Structures are given as C-alpha cells and as structure tokens.
Chains A and B, each alone.
Chain A
Amino acid sequence: MKIMLQLNQIHKIFNEGSPDEKIAIDQINLTLKEGDFVTVIGSNGAGKSTLMNIISGGLFPDIGEVFIDGKNVTNMSEYNRSKMIGRVFQDPMAGTAPSMTIEENLAMAYSRNKTRSLRRGVTKKRRDYFREVLESLHLGLENRLNAKVGMLSGGERQALSLLMATFTEPSILLLDEHTAALDPSRAELITKLTKEIVEKYKLTTLMVTHNMQQAIDLGNRLIMMDKGQIILEVNEEQKQGLTIEGLLDEFKRIRGVQMVSDRAVLS
C-alpha cells in the first residue's frame, strides 16, 4: 500500500545552547500508509504540537526528513506544502476568515491544491457544489451561503473548518486537538463528523487529542508520546478492546511513573 506520510529520524531542539534548551522531538520515526487514521496522545509538552508543526511546515526539523506522498518536503515552505495538507486547528476561530462569507471561505479552501488566478472565486457551478458538500454537515449551513462566518457559533465554525480542510481530499489530514475548545455536545458532533468525513474521503489522518476515549474510539492506530519520543504504538488489532485504564497502566509500565496530565486523565 502507498505510504502517505513518512518521518525519518526527526530531531528538534528549542533554544539550543541556552539554559532553556529543550529537546522537543527526539529521533522520531513514523509512517502512515494510505487510509491510516492515527491518533496521538501524550501529556503536555510531550511534543505532539511540535510534531504537527514539523509536518505542516510551521517548524523545520534540525535533523531528519519529512516525506508526504513520496515527496521530500523537509525544506518546503508552509504554504507550498499545504497544497497536500488539510489542517484543523484547536481554536475554532483559526480555520476560517470571519469577515468573509461561507461560500467565499469554501472557495478559498477549494483553491488549496490549485493555482489561484483571476477567475471568479464563487461561480454558480461551484456554489451548487458547495451547497452539496455543506449538506453533509446537517447544520443547515447550505442555506446560509452568504452569511459572514463570524456570525456562526464555535461549533458551526469548527464544522466548517473541518469541511474546508477535507473536501479537496488532501494527502494528509492533520487534526490538532480540534475538539478541545468546544463544549461537550459540540465536541461530540465534531468527532462524529470527523469520523464520517475521514471514512467518506478515505483520508490519511493524524489526530492529536487530549481525550483518551476519543483517541481509542477513532482511527485504526494509536501512538503515545512523552518527552519528544513515541513510547507506545498500538496497531489495529491491539487497538480493539483498548481502555483508558489499559493505556495508563501501559504508560506506568514503560515510564515507571504515573502519567501526569490532569486534562488527559479527567477527559
């Protein structure tokens, strides 16, 4: 099967040479095959967000290489790389342009893997298509194409962000705690939509989450990070029947200490 994402020996140090030196990512190797849905858990400061940023191009690794869909993108700029990457951020405000309309936002997302030109952004044909994909969210947004996105609720905006990141079928979908800032019922809705959309487009997905149950419920693989390393990899078979307690025990067995993340334990 095709390999969609490959991280080779990634190493990243912050503030190198100063007293605040911190090894954020320590020799990480990770491979995602086409259609893999990997959930990433770990305590605060484990390096999950840094890892996401290295894949998306927001940060560059000190050592190591990043391959997306067989292409070496290690030194490729963030905006160029995002032709192949769909991203949803934790902050529901981050993934959309508030003073522009729903259809304009979708038009910008639609141009993600194309060259932007002086053609009209929202044509009649595209509008029909946008309406069709919006219907899949079941939020009634298809009737509000001309509403400014700033008028939507946090949950609606995050659902729109998710749709915008996915409907052009990126090679890799990165979800960075995209339900963490929502209230429980909204978070549940976004989780459900994530599952539907990833299945519909068969997207290769990497999802960071603080919610262990969510990490267990979603996806076919799970990895646990701590201090910049991947300390546990759970494959498809092992993932069946996995529980929060099981994961915590596993952490204790590997690290010899209790997992320290109040948020992770509570959720």
Chain B
Amino acid sequence: MFTAIFGSFEAGIIYAIMALGVYLSFRILDFPDLTVDGSFVTGGAIAAIMITNGANPFLATVMALLAGFIAGCMTGILHTFGKINNLLSGILMMIALYSINLRIMGRSNIPLLNTETSFTKIGDLFESSGIDSFFNNLLAMVGLGDSLPETWGILFFMLIVTFLIKFLTDWFLQTEIGLAIRATGDNKRMIRSFSANTNLLTVIGLGLSNALVAFSGALIAQQGGFADVGMGIGMIIIGLASVIIGEALFGTKTIARTTLAVIGGAIIYRIVVSLALRFDFLEPGDMKLITAIIVILALTTPKMIERSKEKKRKARRKAEQLHFLQASVERKGENHAAVKSDS
C-alpha cells in the first residue's frame, strides 16, 4: 500500500508538469489543445533515443522540451495563420506527430532499462550521500520498513523541478507578455485594441504549453524505463482531469493558487487511479475509462449540485412568500373583524 501511494505520488509530481502545460492551453488561452497526446510522446521519444545513443540524459530532457515547444508553435501557426479551427489544428498536429514520433524512435518502443537516465544519476547521488538510507531508516522506525521505495531521489528532485516550473509559470503570467497572453484567452478583441498581436501570443502560449508537456513526457519515459509510441493516448484527458480535480479541491483565487491546485490535482489523480486499480475486477486497461468517468463526473457534478441548491433556494423562497401571504391574509381578517366589532 505504501509503495503504491509512494509510486503514484512520484509519478503524479512528474505528470503535474504536463498538467501545468494543459492548464496553460486549456484555461489560460482557452484553447482545447489536443497536440498534447502527440507532444508528450515526442518528449519521451527524443529523450529515449538520445539517451540510448549515449547523450547526457539532462541534455536529452532539455532537447525534448525544445521539441515540444516547436510542436506547440506549429499547432498555433495552423490555427492563427492557417485559420484552422482550434480543435482541428490540435488533432492534425497530434496525428502528424504520431508518424514523426515513430521516425524519431525508429521503432514503436525503446526500453531504457540498464541505461543511465536523469533519475538513475539522481538516485545514485541520493544513495551515495546517504539520504536514501536516512529516510528508509525513518520509515522503518514508524513500522513501514517492509515496503521501502527504491530511491527518494526522484521524488525530491521532481518536487524541486516541478515547483520551480510552477513559480516560473506564476511569474511569467504576471509579466506584461504574460498578462497579454491571459487576455488573449479572456477577451481577444480587447487585447488586440491594446496593440497586442494575439496570433503571436497564441503561438507562444501553445509553444510553452507543449514544451512543458514534452518535458514531462521525457521524464516519465526515464522514470518508467521506456518510451512507447502509444504512451500519449488520452494524455489530454489526464491533464484535464488533473486541472479540474485540482481546481475543485484547492480553488482558483489567484494564479499562484491555481497552479498549486493543478499540481495537487495531478498527484491526487494518480493516487485515485492506483487505488481504483486495486479492485480485483478492474484491469490496467480500464484506466482510460476510469479517467474519462472522473472527468465527466468532475465536469457535471458541480453543475448538478448548483442546480439542486438553486431548487432548494427557490422552494424556500416560495414557502416564505406563502407564509407572508398567509400572514397578511390573517391580518386582513383581523382588521376586518375589528372594523366589524366597532360598528
């Protein structure tokens, strides 16, 4: 149980970067960008092929980020300069990326076991410095010693990286360019009348979004030990689920709060899925269905709750009105009676 939760926490914090990317496109730019399914794999593919060819894994991860940026920009160019519908531009790019990803990898799956990745490097560092054994001893002391995680390195390293990206995003969205990007998603006509090139801003925004997605894909490939051409299927929905769950649970008062919520949402999503898969009648293949159901529930329940609240409010108001009417009728009756008795 502990290893399962630890594992989903570890994966969640990596997927959180992808979720932040989806937040940028879906919420900030108001652009349902399906490129994500492809660019996530592009990130994994570039990292895997470079690492297996002996490149520095950190360099490979950065290259994956750049590739994602280019893919996102392409979608933006299709939409703004090509004047193609936003959903369709994303789908077109996703399909195109499938072939491109196969070309990058040369085959449909590249295993990364027994190769040196960013995480094996970090793991070695943690092991040699004794941090791993320190935390494991701590766990053993509280009685969880029988299911120890392999390394604490990935978790701590990713916490730092993800929060660094969160703070960078928060900062960026408060800059002059960031404000203009937010306004592009909020009211295009308005920001255009304040001399902002909304086309360029859309392209940049989508580029940044997919850069984060590909970065996350590269890290997931290294954490999971393989890159697969199908690893991105449904990624946009997972990202969306993380954004929606996070927003619902942690709130959206400010940008900083919302990005934190998205990270929380990504982690909670992973934990929910791993717990759900512990039921015997569910198979790993059911994960996408579970995700779809989570998103559907998250999208519909707040509205249903709101509606039932509204109904109750109406019923109460009606009751109050009725009560008031009755009271006034009674009062009238009394007055009437009083008049009568006077006469």
Q: Does B85 reach chain A (CB closer than 8 Å)?
A: no
Determine how close the nearest CB of chain B comes to the CB of A171; give it in whole angstroms: 12
Restricting to B176-199, which residues have a CB under 8 Å from any CB of A? Answer: 176-180, 182-183, 186-187, 189-198
Docked complex Cα distance between A128 and B10 (Å): 44
Q: Does B174 reach chain A (CB closer than 8 Å)?
A: yes
**Given A78-B192, A96-B190, are A107 and B176 also a contact pair (CB < 8 Å)?**
yes
Docked complex Cα distance between A85 and B177 (Å): 20
B191 / chain A contacts, CB cutoff of 8 Å? 97, 108
Cβ B193 vs Cβ A97 within 8 A = no
Restricting to B22-79, which residues have a CB under 8 Å from any CB of A? Answer: none
Q: Please pick, from B177, B192, B193, the residue contacting A116 in the complex, using a CB distance under 8 A.
A: B177
A118 / chain B contacts, CB cutoff of 8 Å? 172, 175-177
Q: Please pick, from A56, A94, A111, A119, the residue contacting B190 in the complex, using a CB distance under 8 A.
A: A94
Cβ B193 vs Cβ A117 within 8 A = no
Interface majority SS (helix, strand, loop, mixed), chain A = loop
Docked complex Cα distance between A77 and B222 (Å): 46
Q: Can you name the residue of chain A whose Cβ is closest to the Cβ of B194?
A: A112
Q: Please pick, from A77, A78, A79, A121, the residue contacting B179 in the complex, using a CB distance under 8 A.
A: A121
Cβ B176 vs Cβ A98 within 8 A = no
Q: Please pick, from A82, A85, A99, A117, the residue contacting B186 in the complex, using a CB distance under 8 A.
A: A99
Binary interface encoding of chain B residues 191-221 relative to chain A, with 1 for a CB under 8 A from any of its CBs, else 0: 1111111100000000000000000000000
Q: Please pick, from A111, A121, A122, the residue contacting B194 in the complex, using a CB distance under 8 A.
A: A111
Docked complex Cα distance between A111 and B193 (Å): 11
**Given A118-B175, A121-B174, are A95 and B193 also a contact pair (CB < 8 Å)?**
yes
Q: Can you name the residue of chain A whose Cβ is closest to the Cβ of B252?
A: A99
Docked complex Cα distance between A89 and B192 (Å): 13
How many chain B residues sit at the interface, stated as a range, is 20 to 34
**Given A94-B187, A107-B176, are A87 and B193 also a contact pair (CB < 8 Å)?**
yes
Q: Does A104 reach chain B (CB closer than 8 Å)?
A: yes
Docked complex Cα distance between A77 and B197 (Å): 9
Binary interface encoding of chain A residues 71-88 relative to chain B, with 1 for a CB under 8 A from any of its CBs, else 0: 000000111101101010
A87 / chain B contacts, CB cutoff of 8 Å? 193
Binary interface encoding of chain A residues 94-134 relative to chain B, with 1 for a CB under 8 A from any of its CBs, else 0: 11111110001001110111001111111000000000000
A80 / chain B contacts, CB cutoff of 8 Å? 195, 197
Cβ B175 vs Cβ A119 within 8 A = yes
Cβ A98 vs Cβ B177 within 8 A = no
Docked complex Cα distance between A109 and B192 (Å): 10
**Given A100-B182, A100-B183, are A109 and B194 also a contact pair (CB < 8 Å)?**
yes
Docked complex Cα distance between A80 and B198 (Å): 11
Q: Please pick, from B187, B189, B194, B198, the residue contacting A98 in the complex, using a CB distance under 8 A.
A: B187
Determine how close the nearest CB of chain B comes to the CB of A77; give it in whole angstroms: 8
Docked complex Cα distance between A120 and B183 (Å): 15
Q: Please pick, from B172, B174, B190, the residue contacting A97 in the complex, using a CB distance under 8 A.
A: B190
Docked complex Cα distance between A40 and B275 (Å): 67
**Given A95-B193, A97-B187, A97-B191, are A104 and B179 also a contact pair (CB < 8 Å)?**
yes
Cβ A98 vs Cβ B192 within 8 A = no
Docked complex Cα distance between A82 and B190 (Å): 11
B183 / chain A contacts, CB cutoff of 8 Å? 97, 100, 108
Cβ A120 vs Cβ B174 within 8 A = yes
A82 / chain B contacts, CB cutoff of 8 Å? 192-195
Q: Please pick, from A93, A96, A121, the residue contacting B175 in the complex, using a CB distance under 8 A.
A: A121
Restricting to A45-74, which residues have a CB under 8 Å from any CB of B? Answer: 56
Closest 10 CB pairs of A and B: A97-B186, A116-B176, A121-B179, A82-B195, A97-B183, A112-B194, A83-B195, A97-B187, A118-B175, A87-B193
A-B contact pairs, 30 of them (CB 8 A): A78-B193, A79-B195, A79-B197, A79-B198, A80-B195, A82-B192, A82-B193, A93-B187, A96-B187, A96-B190, A97-B182, A97-B183, A100-B183, A107-B179, A108-B191, A108-B196, A111-B176, A111-B180, A112-B195, A117-B177, A118-B175, A118-B176, A118-B177, A119-B176, A120-B175, A121-B175, A121-B178, A121-B179, A164-B194, A165-B193
Question: Besides A108-B194, A118-B177, 17 other CB < 8 A contacts?
Answer: A56-B193, A79-B192, A82-B194, A89-B189, A93-B187, A97-B182, A98-B187, A99-B186, A104-B179, A107-B176, A108-B196, A111-B179, A117-B175, A117-B176, A120-B174, A121-B176, A121-B178
